[in-house]
Structure 1
Amino acid sequence: MGYLILNAAQAQDDLLEVVVNSDSATTNLVTGTFKATRLANGHSVETNGEGELLFLISHRFGTLNSGAYEFFGLDQAIIRLGLEYGLTDRLTVGIGRSSLEKTFDGFLKYKLLQQQEGAGRVMPLTLTIFTSTAVRSLRWPEGEHNFDFEHRLTYTYQALLARKFSDRLSLQLSPTLVHRNLVLTRTEENNVYALGVGGRIKLTSRTSINAEYYYLLSDQTREDFRNALSLGFDIETGGHVFQLILTNAQGMVEKFFVPQNTGYWSNGDIYFGFNISRVFDLKEEKQW
């Protein structure tokens, strides 16, 4: 009797293992939607792996129409240095410092859903939730001392939705809300809504072309400022990703390139720049 029970239990375990293996064999997680955590200025759906530390150097020069005396913008530069760490494969925390308005920023990024394909459970897209806080540390102009610390703060909230349609084509939508605690005039809006769209076309296993566009939805802001359009070329070299960028937005934090961008592509207000990211694996290897 005990022998029969033991055999029945073993058969049940074997059947369960077959079902699990069959389901995993027919369902695949889609990875590598984009090469980097940035499309250009804005974030992509990508998060760091657990224990991975990413060091990001972002650089934007002056406008191309500044002329030969300014070496077509290369004599002027804005820089941002950032660190991003993967607490888990889905949750990334990051900090950064930009020379524009001496801005510090911190963010959280969580991959809520990941695209899956196969005969098992199917998920058509990847969804990453992003939130950040930016702090202006630039001193207020002389005579303006009535501002509190809270007036230095700007908040950004995004839902990043992307789909990898093939090995070569990925697209992303980025509904965005930027809340500014302080605006310059009474007519400006504290809450600015925008819709970001972007994508990647893969050229080779290590190169791709990117595009990114943020369309302002808030009426008053749309009248006074310009939509941010960026074009990029990505090159992957092992642990590095180089992104060469042309954009009409010099700021590399959402508070700059979404609600207060002034550049016109048609006037030559085009900033050349780059992002360089390097990943360090800090996760301890298991000892067996």
Structure 2
Amino acid sequence: MKIIVAGLLMLWVWLPAALAQEDDLLSLIEEEPATEQITNAFKSSRVINGHSMEMIGEGVLDFRILHRFGRVNQGYQQFFGLDQASMRMGFDYGVTPNLTVGVGRSTFQKELDGFVKWRILWQSKGAKTMPVSLVWVSGATYNGQEQPFPFTEVEPTFTRRLAYYHELIIGRKFSNEFTLQLSPVLVHRNIVENRLATNDFFALGIGGRYKLTNRVALVADYYHAFNRFPNSWVYNPLSIGVDIETGGHVFQLHFSNSNGMNERAFLLGDNGSWLNGDIQFGFNLSRVFQVKKPVLK
């Protein structure tokens, strides 16, 4: 009996101390900072023309319609460009959180295009801090016109119709409102319009987003060419717009001096001058579908 009583007294003294020590250990575990990956830098995988640092979610299909009217300086006879239109319809799919693939078709030059987009680094904070996101994009375009070249003596073979582009996106979400990215890009054409033009074209893009409300944001992108064939009628592409989020849709209204809606087209197309009114009104519509549930880890 004495042994039992002594044992109960020892348990009575030891148990509160043990429980308090366990609570201290649990509090240390809970206070350890976790790694938080930054999301919603942009509301879409594209800024306006160019790719954004944002990716399509795993198992998500993004159906995109890009629509652009004619130039507003054509006057009322063409209803300020609204009587004319070009469009691109595309399907982008998130294979993993860090890998997106996509295909599309444009009415402008009847181009087919496809791309692969891979996130190398993901901006994060907490236990592991990464100041920027780093995304690589590679794509190809195919000119589907019956006669794609201005010179008829050159046979329009399959390979001559092709162009390729490679782009590195370096982006950072500085705050809940402001995101900025830089995008050096290389475009290679298998055939060019004259001997003075280069097959390899270099440009640097800049894109940004400023959040106005929970559902509305200002967006813009601009690409500066470094070795464009010198002429006075082609300008660098500049686009300014507004993103409006409505549930599973992201609806964008914008103005641009570019008619093309893939990298080859808007970087090397006949872009107009903003100062001369060579501006085209357009909209981008994105609708996402969860076609495959992501695997929880």
Decide: shared fold, TM above 0.5.
yes
1:180, 1:58 → 2: CA distance?
24
Of residues 201, 212, 215 in structure 2, which corresponds to 1:192? 201
Residue 123 in structure 1 maps to residue 130 in structure 2 = yes
Aligned length: 272
Deviates more, 1:278-287 or 1:128-137: 278-287
Of residues 112, 136, 141 in structure 2, which corresponds to 1:104? 112
Cα distance, 1:91 vs. partner? Answer: 0.4
* Match of residue 20 from structure 2: none
C-alpha RMSD of the superposition: 2.4
* Match of residue 146 from structure 2: 139
Cα distance, 1:47 vs. partner? Answer: 1.1
2:109 alignment partner, SS class: helix
* Match of residue 160 from structure 2: 151
Tell me the amino acid that sits aligned with residue 39 of structure 1: V
Q: Would you identify which runs of 4 or more consecutive aligned residues in structure 1 move more than 6 Å?
A: 16-21
* Match of residue 240 from structure 1: 249
Identify if the C-alpha distance between structure 1 residues 49 and 225 changes in structure 2 by more than 3 Å, giving closer, same or farther: same
* Match of residue 225 from structure 1: 234
Cα distance, 1:49 vs. partner? Answer: 1.0
Tell me the amino acid that sits aligned with residue 160 of structure 1: I
2:264, 2:232 → 1: CA distance?
17
Identify if the C-alpha distance between structure 1 residues 237 and 187 changes in structure 2 by more than 3 Å, giving closer, same or farther: same
> Does the aligned pair in 1 maintain the 2:233–2:272 contact within 8 Å?
no
1:11-39 Cα distance to aligned partner (Å, 9 max, x none): xxxxx99998665x342111110010110
2:295, 2:223 → 1: CA distance?
44
Identify if the C-alpha distance between structure 1 residues 253 and 164 changes in structure 2 by more than 3 Å, giving closer, same or farther: same
* Match of residue 93 from structure 2: 85
1:22, 1:111 → 2: CA distance?
30
Identify if the C-alpha distance between structure 1 residues 215 and 107 changes in structure 2 by more than 3 Å, giving closer, same or farther: same
Using the size of structure 1 for normalisation, the TM-score is: 0.88
* Match of residue 12 from structure 2: none
Residue 282 in structure 1 maps to residue 286 in structure 2 = no
Runs of 5+ unmatched residues, structure 2: 1-24
Cα distance, 1:246 vs. partner? Answer: 0.3
Cα distance, 1:99 vs. partner? Answer: 0.3
2:36, 2:294 → 1: CA distance?
25
* Match of residue 10 from structure 1: none
Runs of 5+ unmatched residues, structure 1: 1-15
Residue 250 in structure 1 maps to residue 259 in structure 2 = yes
Cα distance, 1:205 vs. partner? Answer: 0.7
